[in-house]
Amino acid sequence: MCIRSLIKFGLAIVGLLQHEAYAQSSVQLYGVVDGGVIWTSNAQGHSEWAQFSGVARSDRWGLLGSEDLGGGSRAIFRLENGFSVTNGMAAQGGLEFGRQALVGVANDRLGTFTLGRQYDFMTTNLTAFSAGTVVPSVFAFHLGDLDRLGGERINNAVRYVTPQLGGLQLGALYAFGGQPGDFVHNSATGFGITYTRGPLRLAGAWTTIHNYATTFGIGTAVLGLPLSGTARLGMLSTPVIFDKLTVAGVAGGYQLGAVALHGLFTLVDFQNHGRASILRTAESNAQYKLSAALWLSVSYSYSRLESNHWNQVAAGVDYFLSSRTDLYLNAVWLRANAGVTTELFLLPPSSTANQTVVALGLRHMF
C-alpha cells in the first residue's frame, strides 16, 4: 500500500507540474487570407485580367509560441508559412515555413535574441512607412523590392534587439553563409534603429549581403547584367548574382489626428567585379482615416539608377467590414524614362515605359 501511495502521489505531482507549465505557456495560431482581381494595362504588350493572391497583404498562416522561464524571461518561437489563395500552393519556393522559422529568448530588461530564417531591419523597421503597407498594395513596393521593404528574409540569421529605452530601440543581425571554410560567402550583416515619441516615429536600417542573388526584374540592366523578368510574378528566368549588395534606408512618420504622414528614403548599392551602381528611391505618402471603417491613402515615389529614372504613384481605398475583414480598391502607376521597360514589382514587364495595375480584393485576418 505504501508503494502504491507513493506512486499515486508522484503522478499527482507530475500532473500539477504539467498543468503549471501549460498555464505559463501559449501558442497562437494566426494568419491572413487575401485574394483579389487585378487589371494590368500592359503585360508584355497586352492588357491582362487575373486573379492574384495577397495584394493588400501576403497570404500566410503561422504559429507564435511563448513559455515563461521566470525572471522576466520567455522562450519564444515563430513558424510562418506562405501560400497562394488562388491555387493553395506553397509560396517562397515551396518551403514549408518560408516566411519565418525562428526560436529565441526574450527578456523584459535585456532584449530579444532569435535564431533562424527571419527578416532584417529593412523590413521590420521601414516597411510600415512604405506605400506597399500604407496603400495597401504589394505592387506599390519599389523596383524589384531590391530595397527589401516587401519582406525579404535571411537564412541562418542571429538577431538581437534591445528593449525600448526612452523610446529608442537598437538591433543587430548576422547571418552565417553556410559554406564550409568561408565565413564571408553568402553571409549578411544588418543594423537597425527606431525611435518613438508620442505621434512621432523615426527609423533607420542597414543590410549588407555577400553573393546576393536577385530574382525579380526591374525592366533594365544593372552593371551590364539584365534584370528583366519574364517568368511568373515577374521573376528572372535565371537569378542574377552580385558580389555584394548593400541596402540602407531612413524613414519618419507623424500622426496628425486622422492623418498619418510618412517619408522614406532608401538606397541600394550593387557591387560586382570591382564596379558599383546605386539605386536611390525617395517616397512620401499619406493615409487619412475618414471614419473607423473607411481609409484613404496616396503615395508618390521617385527612383534613380545611373541615367534612368522612374516615377510611381499609388492610391487606395480600404473599407473595413469588421476589425478583421476589409474590402480594398487600389491602383499603382509607374512611368520610366524613354528606353527603359517599365516593370512593377511582381508583374511581367510592360512593352512601353508605362504600366498601371488596378486591384479589387478582400482580406481577412485571424
Whether the per-residue pLDDT at 43 is higher than 70: the answer is: yes
Could you list the residue range(s) of the whole structural domain that residue 98 is in? 26-365
pLDDT of residue 140: 98
What is the spatial distance between Cα 138 and Cα 148, in angstroms, rounded to a whole number? 12
Residue 11 domain-assigned (yes or no): no
Judged on CB neighbours under 10 Å (0-12, 13-18, 19+), 317 is middle
Whether the Cβ atoms of residue 321 and residue 295 lie closer than 8 Å to each other: no
Give the pLDDT score at 97.
98
For residue 1, being part of any structural domain is answered with: no
Structural domain contains residue 263: yes
| Mean predicted confidence (pLDDT) in 16-36 | 77
User: Average pLDDT over the chain, rounded to whole?
Assistant: 93
* The three grid cell numbers given for residue 183, joined into one nine-digit string: 565565413
111: in domain = yes
Q: Supply the pLDDT for residue 3.
A: 52
What's the CATH code of the domain at 320? 2.40.160.10
57: cell is 497583404
Provide the percentage of residues in the chain whose pLDDT is more than 90: 88
Structural domains counted in the chain: 1
Task: Please check whether residue 7 lies inside any domain of the structure.
Answer: no
**What's the pLDDT score for residue 22?**
46
Q: What is the pLDDT of residue 17?
A: 43
Q: With respect to residue 2, please indicate whether it lies within any of the assigned structural domains.
A: no
Q: Does a structural domain hold residue 147?
A: yes
When pLDDT is cut at 50, 70 and 90, the band that residue 71 belongs to is very high
Predicted local distance difference test score (pLDDT) of residue 231: 73
Q: Give 22's contacts (C-beta < 8 A, 6+ positions apart).
A: none
pLDDT at 66: 98
6 part of a folded domain = no
Tell me the pLDDT band of 343, cut-offs 50, 70 and 90: very high
* Confidence at 256, pLDDT banded by 50, 70, 90: very high
Q: What burial letters (b/e) apply to 150-168, b meaning 16+ CB within 10 Å?
A: bbbbbebbebebeeeeeee
| pLDDT beyond 80 at 339 | yes
Is the pLDDT score of 210 beyond 50?
yes
